[in-house]
Structure 1
Amino acid sequence: MPVMYNALDWSADNCPVGRTMEIIGERWTVVVLREVFNGIRRFDDLRVRTAVPRQVLSNRLALLVDHGILRRTPYREPGARQRFEYRLTKKGLDLYPVLIAIRDWGDKYLADDAGVPLEVTHRDCGALVHTEVRCAAGHHVVSPRDAVPRPGPGARRRDQPA
């Protein structure tokens, strides 16, 4: 029989979900990532496409670069000064399923009556791309009730010092 897990017994101070949300949890950060995944890489193009205030966009891009999610790549238009494009790193590309999951949820609950504004399809077969939750053995996890939380190797009891 599985050991019962009581979340109240365990500290949440070292939670990777909280740490992740400190980086990507602000609205404009996710919007910027959406655009970079869609191929918009230059500051001015990001501003036009998102209407993010200039300073906010600058701050969000700097945050994503500082955390190794984006990298700055120089470019120069003829007769202009050097500028930078923002490209996804491996760490940034690993956020793709997160953005697809957010999009899936928004499509289900927040799309206009006319339908979703953007579909993402598999390049090879044309089928729609969506998220699925599977266990390491490959089983499809249909409901959150089909998964059971348990302390991992980095878990600390609440009464245990950090």
Structure 2
Amino acid sequence: MDVTPRERNDRCSIARSLQILGEKWALLVVREAVLGVTRFADFRARLGIAPDVLTARLETLVAGGVLERRPYRDAGKRQRDEYVLTDAGWQLQPVLAAFIAWGDEHRPSGHGPSVVYVEKGTDRPVRLAFLAEDGRELGQDDVTVVPGPGWLPEG
């Protein structure tokens, strides 16, 4: 059986995630939402993004279940929508943390980290790690990738 790239990508978790998160600006919108930004004008001001591009990113993130559109109305103004992270959106925080860790190590700004993840209540730094089922932390050399049930074999 010949496997097409499309068939492989349809089964690939990374490819499916990139359909929602792979456009330029998508993760930056999520970053701002994690930091508490919910309104179009605030996303636009903080990111310096063109309004049509921001509209497209917000639509994709809403359609993908990352953000939820909620109506609001400021006194004396017309009703508008704000964009709030869903549970799926909040679950992207480790992804953002991984990008931050990678960027701080491999693409440093020379100014130090812009944000640091810490434990609530103690403000002690936290870091990402692979954990075994029993909770042991594993080193990078102790982890490998194997085909899962959705894998399409070559040929």
Distance 2:105 2:153 in 1: 38
2:133 maps to which of 121, 132, 136: 136
Instruction: Report how far residue 132 of structure 1 moved.
Output: 1.3
* Matching of residue 107 in structure 1 with residue 104 in structure 2: yes
2:89 maps to which of 89, 92, 95: 92
Distance 1:134 1:126 in 2: 22
The equivalent residue for 2:148 is: 152
Percentage of identical aligned residues? 35
Instruction: Report how far residue 117 of structure 1 moved.
Output: 2.0
Structure 2 gaps, min length 5: 1-6
Structure 1 gaps, min length 5: 1-10
The equivalent residue for 1:56 is: 53
Runs of 4+ displaced beyond 6 Å: none
Cα deviation 1:47-86 (Å, max 9, x = unaligned): 0000011101000000000011100111100000001111
1:126 maps to which of 101, 123, 128: 123
TM-score (structure 2 length as normaliser): 0.88
Distance 1:85 1:136 in 2: 39
Counterpart amino acid of residue 88 in structure 1: L
Measured on the aligned residues, the alpha-carbon RMSD in Å equals 1.6
Instruction: Report how far residue 94 of structure 1 moved.
Output: 1.1
The equivalent residue for 2:26 is: 29
Aligned length: 148
1:42 maps to which of 26, 36, 39: 39
Counterpart amino acid of residue 76 in structure 1: R
SS in 1 for 2:137: coil
Cα deviation 1:18-69 (Å, max 9, x = unaligned): 1112211223001100000000110000000000111010000000000111
SS in 2 for 1:12: helix
Instruction: Report how far residue 127 of structure 1 moved.
Output: 1.1
Distance 1:35 1:86 in 2: 11
* Matching of residue 20 in structure 1 with residue 14 in structure 2: no
The equivalent residue for 1:116 is: 113
